[in-house]
């Protein structure tokens, strides 16, 4: 008969094996958990979502917005509360341009090291700042550094948020040069990709993101040449979310309601 000691060792080995398998699973192949956690969209649809983390951060957020406007692309911006306080006009400009927004914590600290109460405070404090500044409420949340555990996912979900990770990283935070940023994205994109880029740098104000700005037009151009359509995260995941960007299902529902009233 197995001893309690052997059972504990066996259980620990299973957990470690699961963690190793998950760590080495490609991002695009990781499983979504509907309405809780997403890594990517539908792999059968040739659509991708550009996302920008750590903003607003001037002048680079405004420069990213200009590129997106010139290219007629809508994206999703995950905002840091402290940075919204610093650059409120940039935050309002994101929403005014019709982009989707998400919550990216107040000061970009690793939430895995926080208590449940601290995790809730980070999210709720940023939620209040975003809504007060932009007039919009978001239900998208991306944890700083993409780091999470069972408790952070649970607390996020309890607060009514959907956690959004990514399946492609531009690795622009390394500042490797615009050519490398372009290559990192274009070579890795697949149907349904959620692409991680940065218009900011954690809580640092004015951090240089000129390489990201320079790479963005070519990324859009090359992916379009491959037949990809750019959509926001709510559109990619078909989420019925509050905010200026409506999903296809929400728009159809609104149209149906309008028809009934005729």
Q: Tens digit of pLDDT for each residue in 211-250?
A: 999 999 999 999 999 999 999 999 999 997 654 443 333 3
Percent of the chain past pLDDT 90, that is, above it, reads 68
Instruction: Check whether 24 has a pLDDT greater than 50.
Output: no
Instruction: Check whether 255 has a pLDDT greater than 90.
Output: no
Catalytic residue from among 53, 54, 172, 199: 53
Instruction: Check whether 209 has a pLDDT greater than 90.
Output: yes
Contact between 202 and 108 (Cβ < 8 Å): yes
Catalytic residue from among 40, 198, 199, 201: 198
Instruction: Check whether 64 has a pLDDT greater than 90.
Output: yes
What would the mean pLDDT of 72-91 be, rounded to a whole number? 98
Banded model confidence at residue 89, pLDDT cuts 50, 70, 90? very high
Whole-angstrom CA distances from 160 to 140, 154, 240 are 9, 10, 13
Specify the pTM: 0.82
Q: Give the span between the Cα atoms of 116 and 170, in whole angstroms.
A: 31
Across the strands, what pairs with 100?
A: 76
3-state SS, one letter per residue, for 10-49:
HHHHHHHHHHHHHHHCCHHHCCCECCCEECCCCCCCCEEE
Q: Tens digit of pLDDT for each residue in 4-13?
A: 444 434 444 4
Q: Give the span between the Cα atoms of 236 and 194, in whole angstroms.
A: 9
Q: Respond yes or no: is residue 72 known to be catalytic.
A: no
Banded model confidence at residue 73, pLDDT cuts 50, 70, 90? very high
Q: How many CB atoms neighbour CB 224 within 10 A?
A: 13
Q: Respond yes or no: is residue 198 known to be catalytic.
A: yes
Q: Give the span between the Cα atoms of 177 and 182, in whole angstroms.
A: 9
Give 35's contacts (C-beta < 8 A, 6+ positions apart): 162, 239
State how beta strands 168-169 and 194-198 pair. Answer: parallel
């Amino acid at each position: 008969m197995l001893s309690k000691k052997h059972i504990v060792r066996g259980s620990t080995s299973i957990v470690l094996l699961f963690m190793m398998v998950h760590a080495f699973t490609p991002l695009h192949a990781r499983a979504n958990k509907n309405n809780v956690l997403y890594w990517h969209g539908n792999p059968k649809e040739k659509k991708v979502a550009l996302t920008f983390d750590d903003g607003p951060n001037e002048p680079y957020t405004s420069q990213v917005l200009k590129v997106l406007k010139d290219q007629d692309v809508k994206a999703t911006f995950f905002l840091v509360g402290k940075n919204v306080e610093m650059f409120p006009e940039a935050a309002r400009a994101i929403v005014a341009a019709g982009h989707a927004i998400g919550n990216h914590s107040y000061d970009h600290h690793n939430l895995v090291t926080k208590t449940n109460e601290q995790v809730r405070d980070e999210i709720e404090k940023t939620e209040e700042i975003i809504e007060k500044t932009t007039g919009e409420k978001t239900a998208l949340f991306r944890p700083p550094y993409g780091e999470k555990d069972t408790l952070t996912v649970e607390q996020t979900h309890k607060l009514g948020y959907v956690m959004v990770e990514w399946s492609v990283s531009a690795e622009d935070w390394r500042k490797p040069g615009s050519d490398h940023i372009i290559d990192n994205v274009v070579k890795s994109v697949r149907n349904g990709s959620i692409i991680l880029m940065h218009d900011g740098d954690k809580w640092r104000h004015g951090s240089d993101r000129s390489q990201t700005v320079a790479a963005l037009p070519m990324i859009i151009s090359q992916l379009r040449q491959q037949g990809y359509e750019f959509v926001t995260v709510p559109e990619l995941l078909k989420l019925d979310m509050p905010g200026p960007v409506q999903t296809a299902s929400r728009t159809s529902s609104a149209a149906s309601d309008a028809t009934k009233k005729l």
